[in-house]
Chains A and B, each alone.
Chain A
Amino acid sequence: MSEFLFLYRGGESGRSSPEVAQQTIQKWMAWMKDMGAKGHLKDQGHPLDRTGKLVKGQKKVVTDGPFAETKDIVGGYTLIEARDLSQATEISLGCPIFEFGGSVEVRPIMQLSM
Chain B
Amino acid sequence: MELEDHLFRREAGRITAALTRLFGMHNLAMAEDVVQDAFCRALEVWKFRGVPENPSAWLMATAKNRALDVLRRERTARTYAPELGRLLESEWTLVPTIQEVFSSAAIKDDELRMMFSCCHARLGEESQIALILHILCGFSVDEVAGAFVSGHAAMEKRITRAKKVLAESKRLFEIADAADFSAHLPAVQRALYLLFNEGYHGASTESAVRKELCQEAMRLTKILLAHPPGATPTTYALAALMHLHAVRLPGRTDGSGNLSTFYEQDRSKWDAQLVAEGQRLLNLAAFGPELSEYHVEAGIAAIHATAPSAENTDWRTIVSFYNMLMNIRPSPVVALNRAIAVAEMEGPESGLRELRAIEGRERLLSYPFYSAAFGELELRRGKRKAAREHFEAALLLARSPMERQFLQRRVDACKG
Which residue of the partner chain B has the closest CB to A15? Answer: B36
The reply to whether B47 and A22 form a contact with Cβ atoms under 8 Å apart is no
B17 within 8 A of A: no
Q: Residues of A contacting B45 with CB < 8 Å?
A: 47
| A17-B140, A19-B138, A19-B143 as given contacts; A24 in contact with B43, CB under 8 Å | yes
- Cβ–Cβ < 8 Å partners of B42 in chain A: 21, 25
Instruction: Give the contacting residue for B46; candidates A13, A19, A29; CB below 8 A.
Output: A29
Q: Could you tell me which residues of chain A, from 86 to 100, have a CB within 8 Å of some CB in chain B?
A: 96
Contact partners of B11 in chain A: CB under 8 A: 18
Residues of A whose CB lies within 8 Å of any CB of B are 13, 15-22, 24-26, 28-29, 32, 44-47, 75-76, 78, 96
Interface-centre pick from A17, A20, A29, A78 (highest chain B CB count, 10 A): A17
Nearest 7 Cβ contacts at the A-B interface: A17-B140, A28-B47, A18-B8, A22-B8, A18-B12, A18-B138, A47-B44
Q: Which residue of A lies closest to B15 (CB)?
A: A18
Q: Is B7 an interface residue (CB 8 A)?
A: yes
The answer for the CA separation of A20 and B286 in the assembled complex, in Å, is: 42
Q: State A44–B143 Cα separation when bound (angstroms).
A: 33
A residues within 8 A CB of B36? 15
Complex CA–CA separation, A76 to B43 (angstroms)? 12
Asked whether B48 lies within 8 Å of A18 as measured between CB atoms, the reply is no
30 CB contacts below 8 A, A to B, read A13-B43, A15-B36, A16-B140, A17-B9, A17-B139, A17-B143, A18-B9, A18-B11, A18-B140, A19-B9, A19-B143, A22-B3, A22-B9, A24-B47, A25-B42, A25-B43, A25-B46, A25-B51, A26-B3, A28-B47, A28-B48, A29-B46, A32-B47, A44-B48, A44-B49, A44-B50, A47-B45, A47-B47, A78-B48, A96-B47
Q: Does B6 contact A (CB under 8 A)?
A: yes
Task: Apart from A29-B47, A75-B44, list 16 A-B contacts with CB within 8 A.
Answer: A17-B140, A17-B143, A18-B138, A18-B140, A24-B47, A25-B42, A25-B43, A26-B3, A32-B50, A44-B49, A44-B50, A45-B48, A47-B47, A47-B49, A76-B44, A78-B48
Distance in Å from the Cβ of B395 to the closest Cβ of chain A?
34
- Does residue B142 face the partner (Cβ distance < 8 Å to A)? yes
Q: How far is the CA of A46 from the CA of B139 in the complex (A)?
A: 29
Residues on B facing A (Cβ under 8 Å): 3, 6-9, 11-12, 36, 39-40, 42-51, 138-140, 142-143
A78: which B residues are within 8 A, CB to CB?
48
Q: A15-B36, A26-B3 are in contact. Are A21 and B49 (CB under 8 A)?
A: no
Closest residue of chain B to A25, judged by CB? B46
B contact patch SS = helix
With a cutoff of 8 Å between Cβ atoms, the chain A residues found around residue B8 in the complex are 18-19, 21-22
Residue of chain A at shortest CB distance from B139:
A17
Please report the C-alpha to C-alpha distance between residue A22 and residue B38 in the assembled complex, in whole angstroms: 12
Taking a contact as CB atoms under 8 Å apart, the answer to whether B142 and A17 are in contact is yes
CB distance from A6 to the nearest CB of B (A): 11
Q: How far is the CA of A77 from the CA of B140 in the complex (A)?
A: 30
Q: Specify which of A17, A20, A24, A46 is in contact with B49 (CB 8 Å cutoff).
A: A46
CB-contact partner of B48 in A21, A46, A96, under 8 A: A46
Contacts of B9 in A (CB 8 A): 17-19, 22
Chain B residue numbers with a CB within 8 Å of A18 are: 8-9, 11-12, 39, 138, 140
Min Cβ gap B302→A in Å is: 33
Residue numbers in A under 8 Å from B143 (CB-CB): 17, 19
Q: How far is the CB of B202 from chain A (nearest CB, A)?
A: 18
Chain B neighbourhood of A96, CB < 8 A = 47
Q: A40 CA to B145 CA in the complex, in Å?
A: 42
**B47, A17: Cβ atoms under 8 Å?**
no
Q: Complex formed: what's the CA distance from A26 to B42 in Å?
A: 12
Chain B residues contacting A47 (CB-CB under 8 Å) are: 44-45, 47-49
Q: Is the CB of B138 within 8 A of A17?
A: yes
Q: A18-B9, A21-B8 are in contact. Are A29 and B44 (CB under 8 A)?
A: no
Q: With the chains together, A21 CA to B143 CA distance in Å?
A: 13
- Smallest CB separation, B95 vs chain A (Å): 25
> With A and B bound together, what is the CA distance between A28 and B11 in angstroms?
20
Tell me the complex Cα distance, A29–B45, Å: 11
User: Which of B46, B142, B143 has the largest count of A CB atoms less than 10 A from its CB?
Assistant: B46
In the bound complex, CA of A32 to CA of B49 (Å): 10
Contact B6 A21 (CB under 8 A): no
